[in-house]
Structure 1
């Protein structure tokens, strides 16, 4: 049911035409699909990025540990004879080709010797094993302990005598370069994927909504056809009742009230069929027809007020008019008169005796705003989004004394859309309501 209301646009977005609602629905489907796919791609990319960076960092740490452990046997020789004592043919020497370096420290943390291309300026951390990062240099430091026979790493012999420390350094430029290439590749790949997904989303959205739009169009055509076909039999019924009522002598007194009820129901059905036919034919916002002309808006409002003055006097309601002269609007006179007649009629219906209804005009840039304000029963805040929904009326308005089918505001809104404008409403319970009609000026 909620989805159907979104399709029709009559419940949640009452200020939009069905055509605008379908366009908005397409955008929602498209954005939802792209958001979901972008989220999936983003999470996948993050997972790849995290796995890639961590695996490379672990590989680098393992290389540094291998280099440092390979240099452990040389610590005693460096302490006694210096760096020249180190055998240059040892296998670990080949590792220096990777922008690596080694540093030998004594047990007090004093530098004994260093070999390689890059070195960290970080102070030595005198722990068994630690990893540090300085700019683009990764360092790994291990402590070296000794027993009576040889020097060993401290992992399993922490109670032995500390001989010193060995620190291995290596540049992270290659890793950072690889990560940068990965980020670019993921970005370009995701962008290309989103482009193809967007194309697919447009096609899928079109295929998804096309049957709904066709069904809605068929429903609109059915409403128009049914309303058109109903007018003739309803007119015939009304005519027959009028003929019977014009000859009361032929009608039994007990049937007179029945004829009045039938005539009232027939008039209501005729009005309903005409309203439905009008709405079915004017759901979409169209360009102004050739028959439209420029009119002074104050003249239309004056005629509407004159039309409702007797009704207002009968109910004891003050009908006020505050006009601005010489404001032209491009319109169809009958439709624009119907728009304001529906609003004024609605205001008079729900205003109690002794109240007032004020029709005023305000100029706002290229729009003229017509306010129809009353101090009637008002509308609850939770009902405001539904006031322009077809056949909808608030519970307080659903009484036998209040005539109406709940189409007046929907028709007024449709006419406003046809004229390139809109209607807004504000209301407070037991205080009153204010309908504002925005129309573009000529």
Structure 2
């Protein structure tokens, strides 16, 4: 059982699904963590700056009570004012008690002329009533007007501007950002480890079911071969004695034989597909050193009669001395399926071309046709089993809808890949890319 599970886990379809689920899970976790971090950071930042604004407002209101004394005597700056509770809504505490080392206080008369300054921070900026930031947000200031109310009417006496450095706040926020980044990285790492375990656990029943279904397909295909062979043999024997067959049954026997051949072909394809997909890579004992040029040349020569019958030009353009390791029978089946597919969907007087290209590590085989083409929305499905796009690609007696699925499975088993490009009314191009042998690469 453990052996079967390890084989299933090696299935490229489930490997891809595993990583897709894991990346989706991590993306959701990252979005949740990122959104939470941004919300917390914004709330914390606003709270810190609100505290700064409250300190500035309290200091400005307390300092405003000293404006009249400073206008009368500038030395009053060094005198600690004793405030009495006057129930005017202001904070009745001396400004000297509220001022912090990172703050500065400036008093101005009604004309904007400086009367006095106290503290360590005096930005060289024009008076502007309200809260403001200067020097790239490093200094926060508040300027308020100071009024007296002779005869109940407001009279402007001057302005008070208080300033505070945001360095401490920015340092705290930078530490918070660093904490979020470090904590987020740890959380993503732990989520990745947990996600790998969760996705493996969640996919294990699916992989087991898939394995059972694949095994059932192989077993059913194998068991169906015998009765189909008996039916086919019986009908062929009956046809060798036409005098014993009622004339009305001749066409019926032909139909039975045709259906039996179709079923036999389908069963063989299903069995081949089940066996091919059982392992991701071909076993070393099954590998042969294959001259790809000769293999493709044999495939083309074998199908030339079919191409001539349909009035289609079949050409082969290859490069010799290119070798790959693999199963020659399976690779022949792969390229035969592709060429057969191209011939099937190419009209009379069309052209099918088989080409070989290579680079440092891979050899590519192109099967191009001038056929009916495939719609863009159908391209992702063409390697699915039993899939056909439309009426033009409908049921045909010699087809099962498994040819391209088998070709894809064989390519993946040989550590290669198969891709397709197509345009309706222009044609299709299937590309198989396979790794070259070391001797071919070195040469």
TM-score, scaled relative to structure 1:
0.87
- 2:187 matched residue in structure 1: 193
Equivalences for 1:312-391 in 2 at 5 Å?
312-391=307-386
* 1:264-309 Cα distance to aligned partner (Å, 9 max, x none): 1111111111111111111142144313211222222222223223
Contact 2:69 2:76 in 1 (8 A): no
Displacement of 1:18 = 8.9
Residue 261 to residue 56, structure 1, CA distance change in 2 (3 Å): same
Contact 1:101 1:114 in 2 (8 A): yes
- 2:148 matched residue in structure 1: 146
Pairwise CA RMSD: 2.4
4+ residue segments displaced more than 6 Å: none
Residue 100 to residue 391, structure 1, CA distance change in 2 (3 Å): same
- 1:29 matched residue in structure 2: 21
Bigger Cα displacement from structure 2, 101-110 vs 290-299: 290-299
TM-score, scaled relative to structure 2:
0.86
Aligned residues: 416
- 2:236 matched residue in structure 1: 242
Equivalences for 1:13-412 in 2 at 5 Å?
19-84=11-76, 86-88=78-80, 90=82, 91-125=94-128, 127=129, 129-134=130-135, 136-148=138-150, 159-283=153-277, 284-398=279-393, 403-412=398-407
Q: Distance in 1 between matches of 2:376 and 2:103?
A: 72
Q: Specify the SS of the correspondent of 2:284.
A: coil
Residue 166 to residue 289, structure 1, CA distance change in 2 (3 Å): same
Q: Specify the SS of the correspondent of 2:160.
A: strand
Contact 1:83 1:113 in 2 (8 A): no
Q: Specify the SS of the correspondent of 1:290.
A: helix
Q: Specify the SS of the correspondent of 2:371.
A: coil
Which 5+ residue runs of structure 1 have no aligned equivalent?
Answer: 1-16, 150-156
Residue 371 to residue 63, structure 1, CA distance change in 2 (3 Å): closer
Displacement of 1:398 = 4.5
Q: Distance in 1 between matches of 2:193 and 2:230?
A: 56
* 1:57-92 Cα distance to aligned partner (Å, 9 max, x none): 222222222122222232122112212465236443
Residue 433 to residue 140, structure 1, CA distance change in 2 (3 Å): closer
Q: Specify the SS of the correspondent of 1:413.
A: helix
Bigger Cα displacement from structure 2, 353-362 vs 229-238: 353-362
Residue 282 to residue 355, structure 1, CA distance change in 2 (3 Å): same
Contact 2:385 2:401 in 1 (8 A): yes
Q: Which has the higher contact order (CA 8 A, sep 6+)?
A: 1
Q: Specify the SS of the correspondent of 1:104.
A: strand
Bigger Cα displacement from structure 2, 316-325 vs 382-391: 316-325
Bigger Cα displacement from structure 2, 390-399 vs 247-256: 390-399
Residue 249 to residue 37, structure 1, CA distance change in 2 (3 Å): same
Q: Distance in 1 between matches of 2:311 and 2:113?
A: 104
Bigger Cα displacement from structure 2, 354-363 vs 49-58: 354-363
Q: Distance in 1 between matches of 2:100 and 2:351?
A: 94
